[in-house]
Amino acid sequence: MTDLRFPIGKAQLERDLTGARRRELIDQIAAAPENLRKAVLGLKEEQLDTEYRPGGWTVRQVVHHVPDSHLNSYIRFKLALTEDEPTIKPYDEAAWAELLEARTAPPEISLGLLDALHQRWVLLLREMSSGDYQRTLRHPEIGQLSLNEVLCIYAWHGRHHTAHITALRDRMGWN
């Protein structure tokens, strides 16, 4: 049976990326808002409030989680580009997903935020040099990560959560 938590598998971190591979990952980040928007297109309120897996977040919570997470990543990139191996602050994503706005707000609010955020983030990612991607940050729970590795995580992250929704739609026959 497929693990519903990881419909596209777990993130694969790559410390050394070719320019072509980096562009591919940036293109995945650039496509994430549109792909997420397509994944929820036409869903009714009760469908938005359906867990993507038993015990998991609702579709609505997933949609609101993605910009929460990507905002944090954008800031982490900027910190790593302007400071010497900054220690980043983790956040309790599960607690954020339980806040009232994450459980009840219309998805369009977060989809619009994601559109604007990714426009800005992709500009930054595309202007960075190969050397910039070697810069590092320190995650208190994971340790040192290069920006190449962080890029891998977030290219995967958008696809991962979009797949939660599209896999649910397939299982439920909502297509």
Q: Evaluate whether residue 58 is within a structural domain.
A: yes
Let me know if residue 3 belongs to a domain: no
Q: Which neighbouring-strand residues pair with 137?
A: 145
Dihedral (Cα; 27, 84, 139, 24), 10-degree rounding? 10
Q: Say what the pLDDT of residue 2 is.
A: 79
Question: How many alpha carbons lie under 13 Å from residue 63 in its C-beta half-sphere?
Answer: 32
Share of the chain above pLDDT 70, in %: 99
Q: How far is CA 16 from the centre of its chain?
A: 21
Q: Which pTM does this prediction carry?
A: 0.96
- CATH number reported for the structural domain that contains residue 137 in this entry: 1.20.120.450
Asked whether residue 84 is domain-assigned, the answer is yes
Q: Is residue 11 part of a domain?
A: no
Within a domain: residue 63?
A: yes
Instruction: Please give the full DSSP string across 45-100, using - where no structure is assigned.
Output: HHHHTSBSSTTS-BHHHHHHHHHHHHHHHHHHHHHHHHSSSPBPPP--HHHHHHSH
Structural domain including 60 reads: 19-172
Asked whether residue 1 is assigned to any structural domain, the reply reads: no
Position 37 in a domain: yes
Is 121 among the domain residues?
yes
- Cα 4–Cα 69–Cα 157 angle in degrees, nearest 5: 40
pLDDT one-digit tens code per residue, 19-71: 999 999 999 999 999 999 999 999 999 999 999 999 999 999 999 999 999 99
pLDDT digits (tens, 9 = 90+) for 110-153: 999 999 999 999 999 999 999 999 999 999 999 999 999 999 99
In contact, 25 and 155? CB cutoff 8 Å: yes
Report the number of distinct structural domains present in the chain: 1
Biggest CA pair distance of the chain: 50
Summarize pLDDT for 71-103 with one digit per residue, the tens. 999 999 999 999 999 999 999 999 999 999 999
